[in-house]
């Protein structure tokens, strides 16, 4: 290929060079086309196009769609692949040293990965069958498992791979049960939505919680924990029966949305943005938001403010 490119004559008055996007019939590149390419909407199905079209309809987190696509196309950076471009890499599995680290070895044949899959109740036919490529294992799992079990299977694979990365890059090792339990406890965060209106901080926090509930409802989750850093909102959600204000009415409406889950609760978490704010949140939460003070605030709060200012 390099030789053929070098043999192309350079014409003195020929057409100007231009960038060609080979994944478009007209050779035109646009951001939208690249986006669809990454999402497997335009290409990437290949001979497994029916599997990918069905898989893309699953109601799982977007990162699981991308992760499964990487597995199916052998794109994850395992040792046997890194060795082709870097010489000082050990070819064998980093966790069990039981053979070359391929996707089959890392996500299925490795004893630790196998223990996690067995704990998750995976079909024995998938465990005992030998595969050359993991896409074949994914196709068999979609055929043998029901929709919910297949979604759990993908979640479990995600956590097995994360455990592998943690063991290599952080030296952190966990037992199989903890990995399997984490596969059923995803954290959905990092969402930001702009609302063009003036809002009281506690109303803004409640609206953010409402959006979080709306985001999780389509995921068909059974047990959900919503986390917020506004002690006022969290406390009033827990004491919603005694609240007769307009804000309390909105709180009750939010509580009614919890009926779509078998178990849901709201938990306050600190953000450690600064010590003074964190202390005030903890204090208001422990005192059920009944502590009022103006200029003569307690000395411990004063000291925290001074520390943060320094």
Same domain, 78 and 151: yes
pLDDT digits (tens, 9 = 90+) for 85-134: 556 666 677 777 767 777 888 888 888 888 888 877 777 788 888 888 88
User: What pLDDT is attached to residue 250?
Assistant: 72
Residues 193 and 300 in one domain: no
Amino acid 295: pLDDT: 45
Residue 280 belongs to a domain:
yes
User: Do residue 64 and residue 119 come from a single domain?
Assistant: yes
- Looking at residue 181, what is its pLDDT? 57
Do 241 and 274 share a structural domain? no
User: Which pLDDT score, from 0 to 100, does residue 289 have?
Assistant: 52
Residue 217 lies in a domain: yes
**121 located within any domain:** yes
What per-residue confidence (pLDDT) applies to 71? 83
8 Å CB contact between 223 and 261: yes
- Whether residues 242 and 274 fall in one domain: no
CB 274 within 8 A of CB 308: yes
Q: Is there a domain that residue 12 lies in?
A: no
Positions in the chain short of pLDDT 70? 1-6, 8-47, 77-91, 98, 174-201, 217-222, 229, 232, 236, 238-247, 249, 267-310
**Is residue 16 in a domain?**
no
Rounded Cα gap, residues 122 and 146, in angstroms: 11
On whether both 126 and 163 belong to a single domain, the answer is yes
Residue 159 forms part of a structural domain: yes
How far is Cα 222 from Cα 297, in angstroms, rounded to an integer?
44
Of 182, 217, 240, which one is at a domain's C-terminal end?
182
- Does 102 share its domain with 153? yes
Are 70 and 94 contained in the same domain? yes
User: Does 71 share its domain with 170?
Assistant: yes
Q: Is the residue at 221 inside a domain?
A: yes
The domain containing residue 158 runs over which residues?
58-182
Residues 176 and 67 in one domain: yes
Residue 167 neighbours by CB under 8 Å, 6+ apart: 94, 95, 173
Same domain (yes/no): 105, 144 = yes
For residue range 165-184, what is the model confidence (pLDDT) as tens digits?
A: 777 777 777 665 666 555 55
When divided into structural domains, the chain yields a total of 4
Give the pLDDT of residue 147: 83
- Per-residue pLDDT, 234: 73
Q: So what's the pLDDT on residue 78?
A: 66
State both tokens at 111.
């004893």
Any domain includes 160: yes
Length of the chain: 310
67 and 96 both lie in a single domain: yes
Last residue of some domain: 182, 211, 240?
Answer: 182
């Amino acid at each position: 290929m390099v030789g053929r490119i070098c043999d192309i004559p350079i014409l003195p008055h020929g057409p100007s060079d231009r960038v060609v996007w080979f994944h478009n019939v007209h050779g035109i590149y646009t951001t939208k086309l690249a986006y669809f390419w990454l999402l497997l909407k335009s290409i990437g199905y290949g001979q497994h196009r029916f599997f990918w079209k069905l898989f893309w309809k699953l109601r799982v987190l977007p990162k699981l769609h991308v992760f499964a696509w990487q597995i199916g196309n052998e794109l994850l950076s395992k040792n046997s692949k890194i060795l082709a471009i870097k010489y000082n890499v050990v070819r064998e599995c980093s966790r069990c040293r039981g053979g070359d680290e391929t996707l089959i070895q890392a996500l299925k044949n490795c004893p630790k990965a196998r223990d996690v899959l067995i704990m998750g109740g995976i079909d024995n036919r998938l465990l005992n069958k030998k595969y050359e490529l993991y896409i074949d294992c994914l196709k068999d799992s979609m055929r043998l498992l029901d929709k919910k079990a297949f979604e759990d299977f993908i979640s479990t694979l995600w956590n097995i791979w994360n455990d592998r990365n943690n063991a290599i890059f952080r030296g952190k090792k966990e037992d199989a049960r903890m990995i399997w339990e984490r596969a059923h406890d995803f954290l959905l965060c990092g969402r930001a939505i702009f609302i063009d209106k003036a809002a009281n901080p506690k109303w803004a926090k409640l609206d953010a919680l409402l959006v979080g509930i709306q985001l999780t409802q389509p995921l068909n989750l059974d047990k959900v924990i919503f986390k917020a850093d506004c002690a006022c909102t969290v406390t009033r959600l827990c004491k919603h029966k005694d609240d007769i204000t307009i804000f309390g009415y909105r709180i009750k409406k939010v509580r009614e949305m919890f009926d779509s889950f078998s178990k849901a609760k709201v938990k306050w978490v600190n953000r450690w943005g600064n010590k003074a704010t964190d202390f005030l949140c903890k204090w208001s939460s422990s005192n059920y938001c009944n502590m009022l003070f103006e200029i003569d605030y307690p000395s411990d709060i004063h000291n925290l403010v001074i520390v943060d200012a320094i």
